[in-house]
């Protein structure tokens, strides 16, 4: 009797290709650096990206610009080389969960083999996503040197460019000052523009501050609510699952968070404790595109929205695919350095693309890329040209 495999290779081979496993043959980590002027560098124009390059025996390569330092390459190689490209859940379990930016490169390769953008393979919920810009001014990390007027002007500039929302830090030494900033921004932009505030959990340590106590969070949230802010993000510590829940129950403004977790377990815990009104997994930090999708399933079971924590420029490609697959209401673009707008800040990245744009942005929405994989039409010659190390 003809064996199963030989039958397939002879009788069926030409009709429809059988799904041979695609093996990962190598992984590379390197930086690309695009020369820019001193002025551009001072303005915080992006020009350096850590690249993850995944090679397969199908002749297709996958790329991610959310990479890691080369010293981490042996770990990721051990997880991936020789393995079946499509076995994403296995890779996550084998340790890739910690290297979400590398997972993006796998999906880029998968999408290129499938000749489809990744978001379509994972549910294809939306064809565009509303962008909000997270602005952090150069200078003091607590933004105490930035006037409310400057913040209002940036909001106007963002609004004029078609965007529908802006997020700023709630780090000022006197917490209620940020609510006053909200008031001034609201007066400038009118009612059709969303303003979000980010306390960023423990991060204000950088400005010599501690985590807010519950009452401070409550006072700020109430004041922000009065001035029509959309949400207050991470008002308390990341391992405090109770206080945000308590605050969320006490105020109407949305209390959001979740960028600091890896794997689906912490999100499960957030949902059990009703910690946040909106979950914000990071597109790479939580484990990658597939992990974001898994978090969205957990959240969907409780009717909790997911809005990804953001990224910027070429890195954003993977975040964008996850957002579109899930159908997130917003995609954060971060960090924007005023007075630059995103397309000015990431312009040097166009040098490695074959398109005249990085993402198509219309009326404040980022449109779903049509190119397969993560959606960037990469010029591999240019990657070689700008490669360092």
Partner 1 sequence: MLDRRGFLAALAAPLAMLRAQPRVRITNVESFHVRLPDGGQPDPEKIYSYPVTRVHTDAGVIGTSFIGCPQDILQNWVKPVLGGDDLFAVDRHLRRLQMQRGESGVQIWSGVEHGMWDAIGRVIGRPVAHILGGVRDRLRVYRTCVFPGKQDQSDVVYETQAAYALRLKNAGFAAMKVRAWRPRPMDDVDMVGVVRKAVGPGFYIMLDRTAVRPGWVWDYPTALQVARGLEKHNAYWLEEPFDGNDLDGPARLASEVDIYITGGELGKTLFHFHHFLRNKTYDIVQPDTRICGGIWVAKKISVLAESFGVPCVQHGTGGLALAGYIQAGCAMTNCPWQEIIGGPNLPQEQWSPALKLLRTPYVFPIEDGHVLLPEHPGIGLDINEDALKEYRVRG
Looking only at residues 134 through 163 of this chain, which bind partner 1 when binding is defined by CB under 8 A?
Answer: none
Looking only at residues 79 through 108 of this chain, which bind partner 1 when binding is defined by CB under 8 A?
Answer: 84, 86-90, 93
E strand segments, the chain: 24-33, 48-56, 61-64, 128-135, 165-169, 194-198, 231-233, 254-257, 278-279, 330-336, 361-362, 365-367, 387-388
Write the interaction track for partner 1 spanning residues 313-332; mark x where CB under 8 A is met and - where it is not.
------------x-x-----
How many residues does the structure list for the chain?
389
Write the interaction track for partner 1 spanning residues 6-45; mark x where CB under 8 A is met and - where it is not.
-xx--xx--xxxxxx-------------------------
- Contact yes or no for 279/299 (Cβ under 8 A): yes
297 in contact with partner 1 (CB under 8 A): yes
Distance CA 30, CA 4 (A): 43
Write the interaction track for partner 1 spanning residues 207-236; mark x where CB under 8 A is met and - where it is not.
------------------------------
Q: Is 61 left (phi over 0), alpha (psi -120 to 50) or beta?
A: beta
Query: Within 10 A of 85 (CB to CB), how many other CB atoms are there?
Result: 23
Q: N- to C-terminal Cα distance for the chain?
A: 55
Region near partner 1 per CB under 8 A, out of 1-9, 39-47, 96-104, 281-289: 1-9
377 in contact with partner 1 (CB under 8 A): yes
Q: What are phi and psi of 38, to 5 degrees?
A: -60, -40
CA distances 289 to 104, 110, 180, 246, 330, Å, are 7, 12, 37, 30, 16
Q: Whole-number minimum distance, CB 289 to partner 1, in Å? A: 11
Distance CA 264, CA 12 (A): 41
47 in contact with partner 1 (CB under 8 A): no
Q: Whole-number minimum distance, CB 74 to partner 1, in Å? A: 24
Tell which residue, 340, 331, 334, has the closest CA to residue 313: 334
Region near partner 1 per CB under 8 A, out of 138-146, 210-218, 333-341, 367-375: 367-375
Write the interaction track for partner 1 spanning residues 335-354; mark x where CB under 8 A is met and - where it is not.
---------------x---x
Looking only at residues 244 through 283 of this chain, which bind partner 1 when binding is defined by CB under 8 A?
Answer: 264-265, 267-268
According to DSSP, the residues that pair with 132 across neighbouring strands are 165, 332
State the residues that interact with partner 1 by CB under 8 A.
1-2, 4, 7-8, 11-12, 15-20, 84, 86-90, 93, 110, 113-116, 120-126, 264-265, 267-268, 290, 294, 297-298, 300-302, 325, 327, 350, 354-356, 370-372, 377
């Amino acid at each position: 009797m003809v064996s199963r495999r030989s039958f397939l290779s002879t009788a069926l081979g030409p009709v429809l290709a059988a799904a041979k496993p695609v093996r990962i043959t190598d992984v590379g980590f390197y930086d690309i650096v695009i020369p820019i002027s001193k002025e551009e560098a001072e303005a915080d124009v992006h020009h350096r990206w850590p690249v993850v390059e995944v090679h397969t025996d199908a002749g297709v390569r996958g790329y991610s610009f959310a990479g890691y330092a080369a010293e981490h390459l042996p770990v990721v190689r051990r997880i991936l080389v020789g393995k079946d490209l499509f076995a994403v859940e296995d890779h996550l379990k084998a340790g890739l969960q910690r290297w979400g930016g590398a997972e993006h490169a796998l999906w880029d390769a998968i999408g290129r083999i499938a000749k489809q953008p990744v978001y379509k393979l994972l549910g294809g919920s939306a064809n565009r996503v509303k962008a909000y810009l997270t602005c952090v001014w150069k200078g003091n990390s607590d933004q105490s040197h930035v006037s409310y007027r400057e913040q209002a002007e940036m909001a106007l500039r963002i609004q004029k460019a078609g965007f529908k929302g802006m997020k700023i830090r709630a780090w000022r030494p006197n917490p209620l000052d940020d609510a006053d900033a909200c008031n001034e921004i609201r007066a400038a932009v009118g009612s059709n523009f969303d303003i979000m505030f980010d306390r960023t959990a423990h991060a204000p340590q950088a400005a010599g501050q501690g985590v807010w106590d519950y009452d401070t969070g409550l006072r700020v949230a109430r004041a922000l609510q009065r001035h029509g802010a959309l949400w207050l993000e991470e008002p308390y510590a990341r391992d405090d699952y109770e206080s945000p829940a308590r605050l969320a129950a006490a105020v109407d403004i949305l209390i959001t968070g979740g960028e600091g977790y890896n794997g689906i377990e912490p999100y499960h815990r957030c949902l059990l404790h009703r910690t946040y009104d909106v979950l914000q997994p990071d597109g790479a930090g939580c484990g990658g595109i597939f992990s974001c999708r898994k978090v969205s399933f957990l959240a969907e079971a409780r009717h909790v929205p997911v809005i990804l924590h953001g990224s910027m420029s070429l890195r954003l490609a993977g975040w964008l695919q996850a957002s579109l697959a899930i159908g997130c209401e917003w995609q954060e673009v971060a960090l924007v350095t005023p007075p630059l707008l995103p397309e000015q800040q990431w312009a040097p990245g166009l040098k490695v693309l074959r398109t005249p744009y990085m993402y198509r942005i219309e009326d404040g929405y980022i449109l779903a890329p049509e190119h397969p994989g993560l959606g960037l039409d990469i010029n591999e010659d240019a990657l070689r040209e700008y490669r360092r190390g």
